[in-house]
């Protein structure tokens, strides 16, 4: 069974703390993505990666960074958490465009609360 696994389902952090959200996929996908989901705003793309050590900014990268040292692992980092980063974070992966339908495979999500 193919899988995208996010390290934590629920986290509570304090303002100013450094936060790591980890995502691992076992499908040998080239492309990995971090989205945040907020009510009424859909899913917004934070960062994505199309290869090891390659990363690109999405639509809302401010306050975030990412790391992809291995193909299967894509980490989202909040250097100094703020209350406006309280959200649901979704990791997803997929194949190279054109190889197949290219649907996203999602992790279960990480709900982060920053106090």
Which residues of the chain form contacts with other proteins (CB under 8 A)? 30-31, 33, 35, 40-45, 48-51, 54, 56, 58, 88, 90, 92, 94, 96-98, 101-106, 108-109
Q: Which two tokens stand for residue 55?
A: 């990363």
Angle at 99 between CA 110 and CA 95, to 5 degrees: 15
What order do you get walking across the sheet with 65-70 strand by strand?
4-6, 19-25, 73-78, 65-70
The minimum distance between CB 72 and other proteins, in angstroms, equals 16
The minimum distance between CB 16 and other proteins, in angstroms, equals 28
The minimum distance between CB 47 and other proteins, in angstroms, equals 10
């Amino acid at each position: 069974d193919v899988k995208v696994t996010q390290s934590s389902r629920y986290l509570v952090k304090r303002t100013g703390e450094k936060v790591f959200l980890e995502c691992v996929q076992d499908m040998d996908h080239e492309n990995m993505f971090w989205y945040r989901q907020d009510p009424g705003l859909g899913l917004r793309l934070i960062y994505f990666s199309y290869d090891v050590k390659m990363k690109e900014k999405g639509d809302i990268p401010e306050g975030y960074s990412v790391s992809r040292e291995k193909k299967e692992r894509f980490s989202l980092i909040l250097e100094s958490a703020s209350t406006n980063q309280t959200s649901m974070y979704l990791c997803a992966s997929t194949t190279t465009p054109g190889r197949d339908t290219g649907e996203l495979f999602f992790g279960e999500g990480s709900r982060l609360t920053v106090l």
